[in-house]
Amino acid sequence: MGTRPKELAELLASVHAQTTGAARTVVVANGCAMPDLPPWVETVQLAENLGVTGGRNAALEHLSDMDLVLDLDDDGLLVSDDVFATITALYAADARLGIVGFRIADESGVTQRRHVPRLRAGDSMRGGEVTGFLGGAHVLSVKMLQEVGHWPDMFFFAHEETDMAWRAIDAGWRVRYAPQLLLQHPRTSPARHAFFYQVNARNRVYLARRHLPALLVPVYLGVWVALTLARTRSLSGLRAWFGGFAEGWRTECGRRKPMRWRTVFRLARLGRPPVI
């Protein structure tokens, strides 16, 4: 969005320093002026801010001839120079590997609990198959995307990774958390965005409407209503959350395609049943 020129330059330098080079490198200007960039960087200029999902979809359209696409936040940094080599090896070893999620840690090496994609999040170095991934740094198989589709544009921001992961797993692809792949990223809170509470609630309803079997819709949403009431200390935040919850029911969320019960049980076996 044009607000982090120094961080973007450092990120691109860390990309360029990889021992295994990227076939193509693309920067999307999401409704902002395109900054000065190295000549080896391709650009996609969007006239307006289309959100996280719209910006990523623009990049995917631009990179449709690739086999793998790595998404990186513009304020992240690749600390190691063997990241791309490791990614290549992971996908070469597993033909049904659809998504690989990075470990995200701040400058002191600490990974926030919310950045570990499992309920038991005490050990951020325990990798393996999971049910979700982080938006700040992840790899997508283009073959998988051709089967399950791109990002849901209407989400704009929040829970779009869960939507993608559920679709991938329902189609028989694996999602892997690879903690050896590190993105250094400043410590942040999702609530720093003014519209966090609204879109957080709206998109949870979208997830339920789009993907959950009818029996699980009230369970999933009931659990999140209870958790929100227990966790949220801000009255204005609660008002925004319940406003977003109502918006999720009255606005268009895309095609409904409930996941198979086999997928529900698979998610549960992996430690994250689709009710929380």
Choose the final residue of a domain: 168, 188, 208.
188
Q: What is the pLDDT of residue 199?
A: 95
Residue 79 lies in a domain: yes
> Residues 179, 220: one domain?
no
Measured between alpha carbons, how far apart are the two ends of the chain, in Å?
Answer: 31
Residue 164 lies in a domain: yes
Whether 138 and 99 have beta carbons less than 8 Å apart is answered as: yes
User: Given pLDDT bands bounded at 50, 70 and 90, which one contains residue 190?
Assistant: low
Buried b or exposed e, range 109-123, using 16+ CB within 10 angstroms: eebeeebbbbeeeee
Choose the final residue of a domain: 165, 188, 211.
188
Q: Compute the average pLDDT of residues 94-111.
A: 92
Domain boundaries, position 232: 191-269
* Cα–Cα distance, 27 to 268 (Å, whole number): 37
> Residues 168, 246: one domain?
no
Residue 17 lies in a domain: yes
Instruction: For the beta carbon of residue 24, count every other beta carbon within 10 angstroms.
Output: 13
Whether 159 and 204 have beta carbons less than 8 Å apart is answered as: yes
Q: What is the pLDDT of residue 234?
A: 87
> Residues 127, 17: one domain?
yes
Task: Please give the backbone phi and psi of residue 261, each rounded to the nearest 5 degrees, phi first.
Answer: -65, -30
Q: How many domains does the chain have?
A: 2
Residue 276 lies in a domain: no
Residue 148 has pLDDT above 80, yes or no: yes
Residue 184 lies in a domain: yes
> Residues 218, 243: one domain?
yes
pTM for the model: 0.94
Residue 59 lies in a domain: yes
